[in-house]
Chain A
């Protein structure tokens, strides 16, 4: 295994930058897992199933992409799941109440972004550590959502809106286009713009960034707003796919989103990571569920299998990286 990775390093990839190489390794790790899965199940490696996996990964990726920017600054946003629940419930109420999808979309994105802005201000103006600020926000949002929904479920949206979640264009599910659009935008923003580079700089060394003229506070507010806005967008995809909203939908979303970012190679300490890596992380997590369902692994074993595959994915990645450092 180590020999193989060393060969990789000296081989055709040697001319690539270290950042690009680490993404290539991650993709290879994912391909290895996928190859192993395809031996186990015939249905796995079909174009239908792969599109199915990408569609499922889209919601997780959208959530994780905004979070990636936050984690690049060495911050954290624990409120994304609760934000999805609140934004989805507000958007659903507006669509139901006004009959206008456009207003509903505006409500979802607006609510998500405002929550992000609040997080950003808590972190920068009040200097509350990100973990605590967004953990507090999580409870505030849950509280508001539960109060607002009173245990009700809102369901039944216009077909045109639902098509965003369940429709296809040229044989590819529409959420996949949304995901690819934001992947491209995320890569360009993070790698090719001054703001993106400043975000990396803040994560690597906030003091140095400040001394070299980076408006640290404003960039920090920006990443939390971005994270909130992406949660708002994810909430709309959720609504369109599930055709319903209830107060507790966000509770199981936050941890997988953080895991997707970290599995994708973004460091919790900031300054290191990439959008493409986050996509790989989201796809790996989605593959695991897909794989277990296709093999109909007993419910009792599923948590264990999930854990093993996640750890294995990062281990494979470390192995190839070790070769890289020599």
Chain B
């Protein structure tokens, strides 16, 4: 009888502990989907998710297509993950339209999912965490035009035609241009986000334009290609890129590059993971978190020079207003 009582008590205590465990909800398992292993941006996102999960005592498993941005590969990874049933998913679709069936599968399996970086066209999400490419394009271009003293000739080097990021960045740049009537956009040519092509485009455009004062490149790799082309020709112009990569920050500190729009993959990874964990733990999460467009230039570059590996996530209350 006594033994039974003890057992009951023990069971009750265990049940209470388990209940408390659910409420405290440590050690949740998260599945993180990113697009590829080649772009440093997604590496920063992954490090952000790891930093956040360390701080909040959860574990993450990464799912990255071996073939960069492969739609079928991400699709089969989603199927694998659904079988493993993690507590939540942090999701960057390799394609914002084509991954719709995958998102629907996650929704059907009732696994809470936070959408990060590229906004999926369909699906029910706990939250969306991302930067605004339009704002980044506009603010980075504005920084360039201001530094040019509001006058002179500008070259644009565009990203992959038809990609959402490029469309919005170009739109932002052209809207910024409206406020600077004395700045002339000489040409805007595609570099497809590729370093080599941007170098060649810049070499070609220097043949027909003797005076180039500024270059707006839609990402940092292309900005760096343009800088190499001009250095080889002993020419100089103010160059801006977007993404806030380490390479760009080094170039800004060395005085080779003017500025870069900070896409802040690390912070997006942090906040995406925090949003997923908060929602699992019953804390409030806004439906949409859009990071304010920040431009990194020489004045604030030192703050960004800390290697991504050594950064820690900000407090939720400091990063997410309202």
* Residues of A near any B CB (own CB < 8 A): 41-43, 46, 48-49, 52, 55-56, 59, 139, 142-143, 146-147, 149-153, 155-156, 165-167, 238, 241-244, 246-249, 251-252, 286, 289-290, 292-294, 296, 299-300, 302
Give the nearest-CB partner of A49 in chain B: B207
- List chain A residues, Cβ under 8 A from B38: 146, 149, 151, 246-248
Q: Are A155's CB and B37's CB within 8 A?
A: no
Contact A151–B205 (Cβ < 8 Å): no
Which B residues lie at the A interface, using CB under 8 A? 36-44, 66-68, 158, 161, 186-190, 192, 194-197, 199-201, 203-205, 207-208, 221, 224-225, 228, 231-232, 245-247, 250
Closest 7 CB pairs of A and B: A151-B43, A166-B232, A293-B204, A248-B38, A43-B208, A299-B190, A146-B37
CA of A142 to CA of B38, assembled, Å = 9
Write 26 A-B pairs (CB below 8 A) sorted by A numbering.
A41-B208, A52-B204, A56-B203, A142-B66, A151-B38, A151-B42, A152-B40, A152-B43, A153-B221, A153-B246, A155-B224, A155-B247, A165-B232, A166-B228, A166-B232, A241-B232, A242-B196, A243-B224, A244-B195, A252-B194, A286-B200, A289-B200, A289-B204, A293-B205, A294-B204, A294-B208
Q: Cβ of B68 and Cβ of A248 under 8 Å apart?
A: yes
Cα distance, A42 to B201, chains bound together (Å): 17
Question: For B201, what are the chain A residues with a Cβ–Cβ distance below 8 Å?
Answer: 289, 293
Q: Please measure, in the bound complex, the distance between the C-alpha atom of A59 and the C-alpha atom of B197, giving whole angstroms.
A: 12
A151 to B40, Cβ gap below 8 A?
yes
Instruction: Please determine whether B39 and A43 come into contact, CB atoms closer than 8 angstroms.
Output: no
Q: Which residues in B have their C-beta under 8 angstroms from that of A251?
A: 68
B190→A302 contact, CB < 8 A = yes
The CA of A242 and the CA of B228, in the complex, are separated in Å by 6
Which residues of the other chain, A, contact B158 by a CB distance below 8 angstroms?
A: 299
Chain A residues, Cβ within 8 Å of B207: 43, 46, 48-49, 52, 290, 294
Minimum Cβ distance to chain A for residue B154 (Å): 13
Cβ–Cβ < 8 Å partners of B39 in chain A: 151, 248
Q: For the complex, what is the distance from the CA of A226 to the CA of B53, rounded to whole Å?
A: 49
Q: Determine the distance from Cα of A181 to Cα of B224 in the docked complex, in whole angstroms.
A: 29
Are A243 and B204 in contact, CB atoms less than 8 angstroms apart?
no
The answer to whether A150 and B43 touch (CB under 8 A), given A48-B207, A52-B204, is yes
CA gap between A68 and B108 in the complex, in Å? 52
Most buried by A among B43, B190, B207, B245: B207
- Given the interface pairs A48-B207, A244-B224, the reply to whether A143 lies near B66 with Cβ below 8 Å is yes
Closest B residue to A252 by beta carbon equals: B194
Bound CA span A156–B161, Å? 29
Contact A246/B221 with A153-B40, A299-B190 known, Cβ cut-off 8 Å:
yes
The answer to whether B161 and A296 touch across the interface, beta carbons within 8 angstroms, is: no
* Distance A155 CA – B227 CA, assembled complex (angstroms): 13
* C-alpha gap A49/B189 in the complex (Å): 18
- Chain A residues contacting B197 (CB-CB under 8 Å) are 252, 289
Distance in angstroms between the alpha carbons of A247 and B66 in the assembled complex: 12
What CA separation (Å) do A242 and B188 show in the bound complex? 21
The answer on a CB contact under 8 Å between B161 and A300 is yes
Report A-chain residues with C-beta under 8 Å of the C-beta of B190: 299, 302
